[in-house]
Amino acid sequence: MPVTPSSWTGSLKDSENSDAPLTPWKILIAGGFGAGKTTLVGAVSEIEPLLTEEILTQASIHTDSVHGVEAKTTTTVALDFGRITLARQRMVLMLFGTPGQERFWFMWPDLAKGAVGAIVLVDTRRIEDCFPAVEYFLSKELPFVVAVNHFDGADRYKPEEVHTALDLPPGTPVVLCDARDTTQGRDALITLVQHAHDLAIRNRRPVPCPPLSRSTHA
């Protein structure tokens, strides 16, 4: 990072000072097993993708009649982790490739909390694998886009066809995305954040007195 001449700092907002702390933002990459989540995280991350292991404890669904002693089960889930630093904005995007199987639903509230949104990767050979993720994000009103990762030899579908097959709400973007390609991955992220932005504008509660300043950074 180039050293900023001291004469410039007066014109820089605090948030653009290279010493200012980075604000972390979370983006989820969801989809069925083998849909390309790990590949996509690796393609867009500035560091080699890491595996982050979380041990989760969950009250057992089967209630044994052992005098109120609740059985607990532990599950180990592996998340793909990657990051993208937006240096000038003093932000860092944290990408988490999340297990898409239904048995991991219980961990999604924690993962989805505070997230910007999600990219749902679809393998057109097993389109139904992404239903749980789509349903979950719809129910939680978390912005998401569908990215169709065309595998070699798979039938090719138009985005509109995938939109219809998944019965997505109007306006939900569907993009084609080769998960190995950095530029296409970045474009999918841009589509997601743009969509989240549009939804945020649409759902914004009326503010009695809008702030005059754009800067919200402390």
| Binding residues for another protein (CB under 8 A) | 20-26, 43-48, 50-55, 76, 79, 81, 83-84, 86, 88-94, 96, 111, 114-117, 182, 186, 189-190, 193-194, 196-197, 200-201, 203-204, 214, 216-218
Smaller CB separation from another protein, 88 or 103: 88
The answer to whether the beta carbons of residues 122 and 162 sit under 8 Å apart is: yes
What strands, in cross-sheet order, belong to the sheet with 144-148? 50-59, 72-86, 91-97, 23-31, 117-122, 144-148, 174-176
Q: Which two tokens stand for residue 159?
A: 């985005």
Q: Which two tokens stand for residue 35?
A: 């849909």
Q: At closest approach, how far in Å is the CB of 61 from another protein? A: 22
Q: At closest approach, how far in Å is the CB of 212 from another protein? A: 13
Helix axes of 182-203 and 37-44: crossing angle, nearest 10 degrees: 90
Smaller CB separation from another protein, 161 or 187: 187
**Eight-class DSSP state of 13:** -
Smaller CB separation from another protein, 21 or 63: 21
**Alpha-carbon Rg of the chain, whole angstroms?**
20
Q: At closest approach, how far in Å is the CB of 154 from another protein? A: 26
Smaller CB separation from another protein, 60 or 194: 194
